[in-house]
Amino acid sequence: MNIISHIRPENFAVQTNEEHQQGVARLAAQFATVFGMEEWGRVLGLLHDKGKEKRAFQQHIIKESGLDPNVKVEGDYRHAYVGAIMAKQLFPKFYPLMINAIMGHHRGLYDDGDMKEVMKSEMPNDVNVERIEARLIVPPIGKPQDIHHLQRMLYSCLVDADYLDTEAFMQPEQSKLRGKYDSLAMLEKKLEAYLSRLKKNAPDTEVNRIRNEVQQCCIKESDNKPGFFSLTVPTGGGKTLSSVLWAIKHAVRNNLNRIIIAIPYTSIITQTASVLRNIFGEENVLEHHSNVDSSKVNDKELASRMKLATENWDYPIIVTTNVQFFESLFSNKPSDCRKLHNIAKSVLIFDEVQTLPIAFLQPIVDTFNTLKRVFGTSILFTTASQPVLSGEIMGANPFVSFEGLSEIREIIPQEASLHNRLRRVEIRFDEVRKNYDEIAEQIVKYQRVLCIVNTRKDAKEIFTRLPKEGICLHLSRMMCPDHVRDTIAKVKTALINPDNSIIRVVATQLIEAGVDIDFPVVFRQEAGLDSVLQAAGRCNREGRLDMGETFVFSLQKALPSGFMTQTNNARLAMGKEFDWFSPEAMEAYFRQLYSRVDSFDKSSIKDLLYKPEMQFETAASEFQLIDDYTTSVIVNWKNSMDLVERLKKEGVTYSLMKALSHYSVNVRNNDLKKLTDAGAVEEVLEGIYVVGDPIFYDKEVGLITDNYWLEESLII
């Protein structure tokens, strides 16, 4: 009798287990070839579903598919563990690298103790143990941290192959949508044509000459072999396009497969992806983060292809978040890990690299080393403010120090002195602490001015003290993403209109990086040097003035304790004699900052994964780049309440939740309690909260959690 692997429900067509295992083996071998483990991928594919030969599983699939609803399921129909036990029998030297991937291909990778418990299971007597001929070679492994990534990569090859082969049988029309895109060589030509048109129409200015010089450096350095590279370019130097130019040429020269751009902020991602789609076409650029709504793509087939590509990153250019990238690399879940094999032999660009979370810097830097050494990636770090990532990285004591990257090759030669040639701002530090009223009084002395502060509360306090003359706008994460987007668009539109004499904006750091705005004067609340320089990048950005002014001020109240205070103290400890824009200043700043850090591995990922008894599931739960002590609430903005009504009637759907994410605000738990006590919050479905009364959402400052309406409600 043919062993059944899948049954197509509409016509009860059967895919045999032999067909499925051979298909998965072929794909997994193809994927693993990229990092020299083709035979390993083939073996994983051949073994992963051997457990489906169990009589109980065959009864289960016949019953659940509807082929015979009356069949009786006799015994345990679990199947994934069987292939793992068989791997131990067939490959006694190599099975430790196989068994977790096989037994976890549906459930996820196990912690070591749980895995060993599963391996105590007996081999079912109705499963045929067949010899598999395979020449297994372990690639050169240099460090203990390489092993967990190697297991995860093999797991990725198996999981993606399993999904794809199953999809080809169960959903053949959907399967045909995959893999339709241009080669990187074709994209290189598209970029060259675009840059040629851009240069032809660009005025001959010093800034444009520098941008061209940066591009020429990138072209020259793209011929290097894969390794670690940095592109240090001050704001306005054309860093984004230059980095992609280097990446495409570097990938084509070295036969690399794709370009993955990881960015810390969704505002930069959206902007970068838009620029790249304009150059390369939507069919070649995948934007992957939580706020992407594929339903807004007019071409429905293309929208479907893009949505499918988020599953495994089979696209030439991917633009994603740091969180998505790194948390996938430390995840144990098949849905997260499925994409990982497509990171191998790729070009990785990390934009605004100074924002890498210091509390996880050791496992992140170790991952960079493994990706380059074991999986053939080439990595580019881009920013105006390069952190220290190579050599010995020193913490507050010798026990928290660790070895950084090997040599990082800077693309821009030191003699180019870009920080001097692109200097457009003078930074002035105010030594006297001021209250909100005094800061507001200073701001109103200027007609076009941006003020950036550290917290939502500070932004609101200063904004409410400004006279509402001309254009006066507030920006913070108390506003939902759609409101933020609209407000940034208003700022940009207002700035290009010379008739708008008064434009004053108070914002949190959300405007600090990647938002192309240009004010003659910027105020920045005290912060780390990297944040101060990012704020200065919003000042005289286009060089229309001889010199813009950025004022750094301190409020009378202390900064919030923790990392914000650490970064500010690191800047203060540098003294006052630095050229703040110089690479030397940035290196000194990061050395100061690192010396204040108690741990570069706050969740002890090293103890969980850099040893034979790997704890994949525990590490995945611990590797969370964002400490999220907030709850998301849907607010009353535009048509959000219509969507909420649909949610109540239709229930949760992917597209509906994506749409509602644009109208959501993350609030601290104490603020959520205040809103709940006031009767402002409705839990429309389990875990989905709505603040529907428009009285709690202000068109200028967003969600209100501390106004008199709350107090009045509480009194009543």
What letter does residue 33 receive in the DSSP assignment?
A: G
Instruction: Classify domain 424-580 at the CATH class level.
Output: alpha beta
At residue 157, the pLDDT reads: 98
- Domain 184-418 fold is Rossmann fold (3.40.50)
Mean pLDDT, 10 residues at a time, the chain of 716 residues: 89 94 98 96 97 95 92 93 97 96 97 96 92 89 91 97 95 87 96 93 85 95 96 87 97 97 84 91 86 59 73 93 94 96 97 92 96 96 90 85 91 89 90 95 96 94 95 94 92 92 93 80 95 90 86 92 90 88 91 92 96 96 84 94 93 85 90 88 90 93 71 38
CB atoms within 10 A of CB 106: 12
Question: What's the pLDDT score for residue 288?
Answer: 85
Give the pLDDT confidence score for residue 710 in this predicted structure.
Answer: 42
Strand-pair category, 697-698 with 702-703: antiparallel
- Looking at the chain, the domain(s) classified CATH 3.40.50.300 span 184-418, 424-580
pLDDT given for residue 16 in this prediction: 96
Round to whole Å and give the CA distance between 321 and 149: 20
The rounded distance, in Å, linking the Cα atoms of 539 and 138 is 53
**Cβ atoms within 10 Å, residue 68:** 11
d(C-alpha 388, C-alpha 710), whole Å: 47
pLDDT of residue 713: 37
Write b or e for each residue in 290-303: b if 16 or more Cβ atoms lie within 10 A of its Cβ, otherwise e: ebbebeebeeeebb
